[in-house]
Amino acid sequence: MKKELLMGTALVSTLGAASVAQAVSYTMSGNHQTGLEFDSPSGSSDTSAQVNDNNFSIALSETTDDGMTISSSFSIVNEASASSSVGSSDMDAGFSLAFDGGTKLDILNAGNASGGHAVSVPGSAGAETVAIATTNAASTGLDFMTGSSVHGVEFHTASDFLADGLKMSFSASTDGNAANTVTYSIDGHVAFGATYVTDLGDSAVTLGGGWSEVSGSKLGTTPANDTGGFHVGLSAVTGDLTVAVGFADGNKVGVGAASGFEMEADVVKAGVKYVTGDLTFNVGIASGDAKDNTIGSITGADDAKDVTSASVSYAVASGVTAILGYTSVEASDEGVASTDGSAFYIGANMAF
């Protein structure tokens, strides 16, 4: 018994002030969104379903006597429809160290610095989706080429880095030593991103961009091109009006059946948001093109996806928003028109 007590005392001493520590500060946030989605796919019958999106997050933080803030977080996610129920938890968050000068260092599962600087382009605020062919590799996101392993770090500069309004991030991750299988796995990455904010007349202008290069492997097959590419975007806010555009170009490996495909792709997006009183109007378009091939081959034809979306949101009460959204998709797979259609959504979101 004496030995156990001595070992316990040594452990507490090693951890520093753990013997007098109380509890870190924490905040909770989340949302509950539910509504009805009505789908009208081309070539098949109309369908309808209830769609839920429930999220609960806890953020933890504490500041040392030297002024450094140590923080982490985790979330519990429950997204469900009438036909399926899927629950998951984000339990792999690392730590963030924020320093007095405004810099921050993310440690473990830090993510990719390029994706964090993608400009937000308005589109429908609803939860409607349109099902298309699963083999269609075209993307409509500006950060489709980003990726990382959990063994990574990301450094964020303070605001006004090198120039007024400029903020940058740099990230890198190493091989997670995961066994190579029929599924492509990420071995590591390097990336950087930047956001520049300035005033231009009566408008607040944001310019964002990033570059990323991801290396990976797949059992017995070597990718012709690893995942990587760049994106740029521009957003201008004038009073209650926001206008944004974005462009991305790059390669992605690990898409398709058994993550056995690689693709070359580009994306163009544009959107407008206007706020008047309790009403918010969103309109957006996105166009993606991709050529996907089995890893190691040079065959393949073009995939495409053109998305038009719009929504009206009404602030019913503090934290409660009613949403009416609409999305239309035209798609082609391997150069042939594929399943597409339209959908609209009516529901509400409650956030805290």
pLDDT digits (tens, 9 = 90+) for 268-299: 999 999 999 999 999 999 999 988 887 777 66
Residue 124 domain-assigned? yes
Q: Tens digit of pLDDT for each residue in 93-152? A: 788 999 988 999 999 888 899 999 999 999 999 999 888 877 788 889 999 999 898 889
Residue 94, pLDDT score? 82
Residue 312, pLDDT score? 98
Residue 9, pLDDT score? 45
Is 17 exposed, middle or buried, given 0-12, 13-18 or 19+ CB atoms closer than 10 A?
Answer: exposed
Q: Tens digit of pLDDT for each residue in 201-211? A: 899 999 999 99
pTM: 0.81
Residue 9 domain-assigned? no
Report residue 290 as tokens.
């991709």
Report the run of H or E that residue 331 belongs to, with start and end.
strand 320-333
Counting the structural domains of the chain, the total is 1
Q: Is the dihedral of CA 134, 137, 140, 145 positive or negative?
A: positive
Residue 177, pLDDT score? 64
Q: Tens digit of pLDDT for each residue in 50-91? A: 888 888 888 999 999 888 999 998 887 665 544 444 445 555
Residue 76 domain-assigned? yes
Phi, psi of 7 (to 5 degrees): -65, -40
Q: Are 347 and 35 in contact (CB under 8 A)?
A: yes
Q: Tens digit of pLDDT for each residue in 166-201? A: 999 999 999 866 666 777 888 899 999 999 999 998
Residue 157 domain-assigned? yes
Q: Tens digit of pLDDT for each residue in 243-256? A: 999 999 999 888 77
Residue 266 domain-assigned? yes
CATH number, domain at 106?
2.40.160.10
Is 231 exposed, middle or buried, given 0-12, 13-18 or 19+ CB atoms closer than 10 A?
Answer: buried
Query: What are the helix (H) ranges across the chain?
Result: 2-14
Residue 100, pLDDT score? 87
Q: Are 260 and 218 in contact (CB under 8 A)?
A: yes
Residue 7 domain-assigned? no
Residue 27: which pLDDT band, with cuts at 50, 70 and 90?
very high
Residue 5, pLDDT score? 43
Q: Tens digit of pLDDT for each residue in 291-343? A: 888 777 766 678 899 999 999 999 999 999 999 999 999 988 877 777 689 99
Domain span at residue 266 reads 36-351
Give the residue with greater pLDDT, 206 vs 13.
Answer: 206
Residue 18 domain-assigned? no
Residue 308 domain-assigned? yes
